[in-house]
Amino acid sequence: MKFFWLNFHLPYNCRHTGMCCTAGWPIPVERSSVNAIEETITRNVIPLRVEPWLLSGTDVPDDVAGILAARNNGHCVFFEAGRPGCSIHDVKPAGCKHFPYLCLLDQRGVHVSLSHYCPTAASLLFEHRGPVAIVEGHPPTGDDDVEGMDARESLPPTFAEATVGTPREAKPRLMSFEELSAWEHQQVAGAKIGELDDEDVALFEQARSAVPAPWRWPEPPEHLSEIWWSQVAPAWAHFDEALANYAAAKRFASWSLYLGDGVEAAAHSARIASAVVRVEAARQCALFHRPLDRELIVEAIRQSDLLLVHYADPGLLAAASSGGGA
């Protein structure tokens, strides 16, 4: 099985920032992991401030024993700030093991992207210099255990090809996988994120509308345009390289290729992501009452992926990208 990465994501390795451990997300624990975790607690004399560490869950699959306990502040019971982070890092549940990997499996192999809500993943956007390319790499978790969207039994995505004699009309057809790979290489090589666009609010609302109830995402900040031009725009070009890398990540391994109308849906999903990061950059400037800087653009990127990857339903997002959403 082949594994494909963006070259700037390939060096990813957990730096134990603990952001995933403190997000307050419910983490299921597989029955097959319970004994190894218990043995690790005993062997390493891990002090548990919350007991039991495993809580019973409702409506969980048969192979799930329960949910990881959390402290009053929402932090995982096994997270230790100021230490290497996770006390059970080597035997952690699958949900932890696969974060922040975002995988798309199709007949060509496994395409590995990352959620930039993870601070380490976000930092890679700023550390890379040079062209962006799709390269072959290692399995994300060290073995062939991959979670993500499995499109191996699906037909290739569609592409709107101009009909001979009627250049203004486009007739969808299935791509070959060679054409799809060529399209992806072209997309990531030419990716960039420009300045505020007239359609940004509408595109941002498409992302918000893909968040299923009871969850919700805040509206764009008031006076968006004023904030943009006074606080964001003067520094936007300083982060061109990092933003181009983020744009490439939104064009690579896109689930919208298979959940929506092929490459048209994937391209539209990328436009939504560009709008979201611009809006979130303005929000950060408004929240902290200062012009855009490195800290604020990193947080804007992290919040963008929190919305696009973790809050929004991928099927609803793809439907919006295919003309089926708001």
> Are residues 29 and 67 in contact, defined by beta-carbon separation less than 8 angstroms?
yes
Across residues 249-269, what is the average pLDDT? 95
211 pLDDT band (50/70/90 cuts)? very high
In this prediction, what percent of the chain has a pLDDT beyond 90? 72
* 65 & 162 share domain: no
* 299 & 187 share domain: yes
* 201 & 60 share domain: no
pTM score:
0.91
Residue where a domain stops, chosen among 76, 97, 118: 97
* 56 & 176 share domain: no
Domain-located, residue 13: no
**pLDDT reported for residue 164:** 44
71 pLDDT band (50/70/90 cuts)? confident
Residue 279 has pLDDT above 80, yes or no: yes
Three-class DSSP category at 173: strand
* 223 & 317 share domain: yes
Residue where a domain stops, chosen among 79, 97, 115: 97
**Do the strands 149-150 and 101-106 form a parallel or antiparallel pair, or are they unpaired?**
parallel
* 204 & 308 share domain: yes
Q: Phi/psi of residue 131, each to 5°?
A: -65, 155
Counting beta carbons within 10 angstroms of the beta carbon of residue 49, is it exposed (0 to 12), middle (13 to 18) or buried (19 or more)? Answer: exposed
Domain-located, residue 313: yes
- Check residues 17 and 295 and name the one with the higher pLDDT: 295
**pLDDT reported for residue 83:** 63
> Which residue(s) pair with 55 in the sheet?
67
- How far apart, in whole angstroms, are the C-alpha atoms of residue 84 and residue 17? 9
Residue where a domain stops, chosen among 52, 73, 97: 97
> Are residues 91 and 40 in contact, defined by beta-carbon separation less than 8 angstroms?
yes
Domain-located, residue 60: yes
- How far apart, in whole angstroms, are the C-alpha atoms of residue 28 and residue 96? 9
Domain-located, residue 115: no
* 91 & 176 share domain: no
Residue 277: domain span: 158-321
- Check residues 322 and 82 and name the one with the higher pLDDT: 322
* 229 & 311 share domain: yes
Residue 169 has pLDDT above 80, yes or no: no
Across residues 56-61, what is the average pLDDT? 78
- Check residues 47 and 235 and name the one with the higher pLDDT: 235
Domain count, the chain: 2
* 89 & 177 share domain: no
* 164 & 292 share domain: yes
Domain-located, residue 254: yes
* 89 & 164 share domain: no
Q: Nearest to residue 76, comparing CAs of 22, 29, 112, 19?
A: 22
**pLDDT reported for residue 228:** 98
Instruction: Give the DSSP letter of residue 252.
Output: S
Residue 50 has pLDDT above 80, yes or no: no
* 173 & 289 share domain: yes
Domain-located, residue 212: yes
Domain-located, residue 293: yes
Domain-located, residue 147: no
Query: Which helix (H) or strand (E) segment is 229 a member of?
Result: none
